[in-house]
Chain A
Amino acid sequence: DAKTTQPPSMDCAEGRAANLPCNHSTISGNEYVYWYRQIHSQGPQYIIHGLKNNETNEMASLIITEDRKSSTLILPHATLRDTAVYYCIVRLNNNAGNMLTFGGGTRLMVKP
């Protein structure tokens, strides 16, 4: 699986959009971009994933650049409960193990 690079920490004001970047310059054509988040002392939670098109669900939007070397997770209206570590993961979307390789992630602090 390709490696990812994320800033170690970010701050965001409550109610504003949080834009979390991720670089994955060695991504291959059949690898997907996944985002998980982990609230303190809990298990990680799936947020969203995509291949090359932008994706949106009830939690967030995922913007993937045309060359697929980077992506941005957008939380449109951050709340205090969105304070967590956000992990960007690149992996194949097949039946071969489905393992996730977690990097250090970005610690997002949403401030009132």
Chain B
Amino acid sequence: DGGITQSPKYLFRKEGQNVTLSCEQNLNHDAMYWYRQDPGQGLRLIYYSQIVNDFQKGDIAEGYSVSREKKESFPLTVTSAQKNPTAFYLCASSEAGGPRNEQFFGPGTRLTVL
């Protein structure tokens, strides 16, 4: 089945630790995105990548880092510099162009900092 997967679904970490969230897609999409969602709020863009080995900061990149070494993978690292990391994290991918420019979302990872 084609799709986008995120793991794990729930993640707990101690304050001060870095943690990496996984995002994999087998849709052959060039573009990938990371969003953060807080309770009762819309999604906010953290980072995005339009092509392998290239990525740009979104609206709230501080305290996060990404890499795009492979087309299928776009891992997000939440660093200890992120002051309020507890949130729901969503990864998405899309074709670089195309008639719908639809973004396909993964199921999300809920991160809780203890």
Interfacial residues, chain A to chain B (CB-CB below 8 A): 41-46, 49, 87, 93-95, 97-105
Contacts and interface: CB of A to CB of B under 8 A. Distances in A.
Interface residues of B, number: 28
Given A41-B88, A41-B108, A46 B43 contact: no
A21 B94 CA distance: 26
Interface class of chain A by DSSP: loop
17 contacts: A41-B110, A42-B107, A43-B90, A43-B92, A43-B105, A43-B108, A44-B92, A44-B103, A46-B100, A95-B96, A98-B31, A98-B103, A99-B33, A99-B58, A102-B42, A102-B44, A103-B42
Contacts of A101: 45
Contacts of B110: 41
Contact of B43 (A41, A95, A102): A102
